[in-house]
Amino acid sequence: MTTLRLIPTDNIVVFPGMDITLPISVGEENRVLLVPRQDGQFASVGVVAEVGSTLRLPGGVRAVGLKGLVRATAGTAQADSEGNLRVEVEERPDDNPISPEIEELDRNYRAVVAEILELRGDDGRIASFVRAIEAPGTLADTSGYSPDLTFEQKVELLETFDVEKRLTRALQLQRDRLTELELRKRIREDVDTGTQKQQKEYVLRRQMDAIRKELGEDDDAVVDEYREKIAEAGMPDEVREHAERELSRLERMGDQSPESQQIRTYLDWLIAVPWSERSEETLDPEHAREVLDADHAGLEDVKERITDYLAVRKLREERGIEPDRRAGVILTLVGPPGTGKTSIGESIARATGREFIRIALGGVRDEAEIRGHRRTYIGAMPGRLVRALRDAGTLNPVILLDEVDKLGNDWRGDPSAALLEVLDPAQNHTFRDHYLDVELDLSDVLFIATANVVDSIPAPLLDRMEIIRFDGYTIDEKTAIARDYLWPRQLKRNALREGEATVSDDLLKLVIDEYTRESGVRQLEREIGKLLRKTATRVAKAPADSIAIDEAAIRNALGRQKFFSEVASRVSVPGVATGLAVTGTGGDVLFVEVAAVPGKGGLVLTGQLGDVMKESAQIALSYVRSHAATLGIDKSLLRDREFHIHVPAGAIPKDGPSAGVTIVTSLVSLLTGKPVKNTVGMTGEVTLQGRVLPIGGLKQKVLAAHAAGLTDVILPERNAPDLDDVPEEVRKVMHFHPVASVDEVLRIALERYTAAIAA
């Protein structure tokens, strides 16, 4: 601690990095402590300042330049022999930590300041000054330059040592400034335009009044029309009373008031909501299943859930049981793209006899998109839910919330937080849109959400959802979908008659196997469309009753083969093993390659591996080193050698623990010279003791192995019950090997493998 002279700064707050000139004399002092003071009260924190040059102000007053250095706290002040106050000072510099939260605050603060400077007409100098600041704490201190902040607000920032809290408070204060500046700008623009238009509008309104009188129309007729519509809208009592109050305001102010148009727009929206309209629901589970089967192949889980839902609704109605608002269903369909998540929503609406509305949420960042804007804003309008109900014309439609995992958030709010009330059956019967500002009952709406992954959905929102997973289609299911759904649809789109072009199932499987590699059927439909466009060209040139498409026609239309079965060629040499993985687009086959080079026994990892996968590689190598004797590995092969593990494709990020057994197998394969069987795929987390732990996404991985032509799958023993989820036609043609330890994996996976553990 050091002792410095204390200099009060009345009604002035100096921050670190700030320069100030004060009409004082500091003698031989090199540094002083500046402490803000107002009405005789000192702040608890001051700033150590460096004394600069002395100068003379206009009028002959001598002053000194000071530069703030660092925050500091002070002890009790004591007067020295010259009557100056001196205190013991403890400096409190910023540690300027870097965390995701601080980085986000930093970006938001800079964005808000940039908007403020734009509104103030900055010439670029201040913006350049702010851009040059790198430390988050120093960035927050720039708020101290603002003349719009009060003395108390500046002292509050000065007394905040924690950088994240200081930056949070500074961001809040700057947002308040931005809101005030935007309001001033709108008021100024309204005044400028209003004064110019006032006389013109007055003349026009007088002319309109005269025309209305000649036509027998007046304001009373408009009010009477609204009153009649309100009476016919079937609004709840509270909503009707609110609408009548707004109508009374319109009646009192007359049509000449600028606010009258806003009230009329608001009343139009209130009337547009279908308060008493409900579709007559079809509560027939068998009919619903027929409709769903006609529209989509497979997807048994969602079809069974919808028929169960309708069966319960039917029993409630037949037995006179009152509906339970808390028993609402929020289905969330999670799976790879192109698996039918969005289209199944429309089929559910047809099966239940309800209206269907789709709301695309991908990229939505404004909370007002869900809850609507408050009426105080110019151009305010209701949120998407109210607009969806208006478009549906009923209070019980099927509303599909598409791509709910791609919601964003920024300074305008968090839309996913607004959905918490919407998707909670215990709360959504009293949903309140900011624009309408009346309670709206959403409990009769059947909400269906779709997502590719659940990882990006906030946990509180995910807790309100019933997850149904779409794990992709088998080759046989894709063939059936192509034959029964995609082919007829593409025939129609390409102006071909039914039967004018035909193709066999075997050729459809060729298209699936050699031209697509996906869990869904979106790319498959594109390829079929391309094939039929070429066929349409042939028909246009030389009309024919029917064209039977052969392999040559497929090659001509779709080009050379795009995907190949690489397993046999990739694992033909020791050191390569075939793993199974799950990505955002479904299951996939993953090759792990290992090479040994001279070195000091280290480990090189490539292929964009995440932290968890890197740890799996370390565990695998440690297991092989510690169990070399029992694995039948010559220990000399492990000395003075460095192992390089690569997981193609290198441009795609990969992570997760389930590649552990694959890495162990590839290492043992390399060190024993035994290649991995080209029919085997494997998945499982491995421990240092060689235990194989369970993993997730088994169904997707098995489907990927089946599509890649593998016939054997090695899986953790505790995942064996998950095989019930695998389609029966896949289980019939594949062999599954549940294992509990690495030695079992090696005996199954490696060619001609014998080791001490097998003895």
3-state secondary structure of 478: helix
Which residue blocks in 607-752 are alpha helix, DSSP H? 611-626, 660-672, 698-707, 728-733, 742-749
**Alpha-carbon gap, residue 417 to 744, rounded angstroms:** 48
- CA dihedral defined by 147, 151, 153, 159, rounded to 10 degrees? 120
CA–centroid distance for 274 within its chain? 32
User: Do 330 and 464 form a contact (C-beta atoms < 8 A)?
Assistant: yes
**Alpha-carbon gap, residue 170 to 665, rounded angstroms:** 55
The C-alpha R_g of the chain, in whole angstroms, comes to 36
User: Do 735 and 711 form a contact (C-beta atoms < 8 A)?
Assistant: yes
Helices (runs of H) and strands (runs of E) counted in the chain: 26, 26
DSSP-assigned letter for residue 484: I
Omega before residue 649 within 30° of 0, cis: yes
Q: Which of 154, 674, 677, 701 is catalytic?
A: 701
φ, ψ for residue 597 (rounded to 5)?
Answer: -135, 155
Q: At what angle do helices 260-272 and 384-392 cross, to 10 degrees?
A: 60
Is 504 annotated as catalytic? no
Q: Over 506-564, what HEC string results?
A: HHHHHHHHHHCCCCCCHHHHHHHHHHHHHHHHHHHHCCCCCEECCHHHHHHHHCCCCCC
User: Do 416 and 407 form a contact (C-beta atoms < 8 A)?
Assistant: yes
**Alpha-carbon gap, residue 54 to 65, rounded angstroms:** 6
3-state secondary structure of 565: coil
**Alpha-carbon gap, residue 377 to 188, rounded angstroms:** 15
φ, ψ for residue 401 (rounded to 5)?
Answer: -90, 95
**Alpha-carbon gap, residue 476 to 512, rounded angstroms:** 10
DSSP-assigned letter for residue 60: S
How far the first Cα of the chain sits from its last, in Å, is: 73
Element of type H or E holding 81:
none
Element of type H or E holding 284:
none
**Alpha-carbon gap, residue 268 to 246, rounded angstroms:** 11
**Alpha-carbon gap, residue 443 to 445, rounded angstroms:** 6
**Alpha-carbon gap, residue 50 to 33, rounded angstroms:** 9
- What Å distances lie between residue 204 and 213, 223, 256, 259, CA to CA? 14, 21, 10, 17
Is 658 annotated as catalytic? yes
φ, ψ for residue 127 (rounded to 5)?
Answer: -60, -40
Q: Which of 519, 658, 666, 669 is catalytic?
A: 658
**Alpha-carbon gap, residue 209 to 429, rounded angstroms:** 44
**Alpha-carbon gap, residue 554 to 507, rounded angstroms:** 8
Closest CA to 14 of 129, 155, 124, 147: 155
Q: What is the DSSP string of 416-476?
A: HHHHHHHT-TTTGGGEE-TTT-SEE--TT-EEEEEES-STTS-HHHHHT-EEEE-----HH
Q: Report the greatest alpha carbon distance in the chain.
A: 115
Amino acid at 721: P
Closest CA to 644 of 745, 575, 577: 575
User: Do 745 and 620 form a contact (C-beta atoms < 8 A)?
Assistant: no
Cross-strand pairs, 78 = 86
Would you name the residues annotated as active-site residues? 658, 701
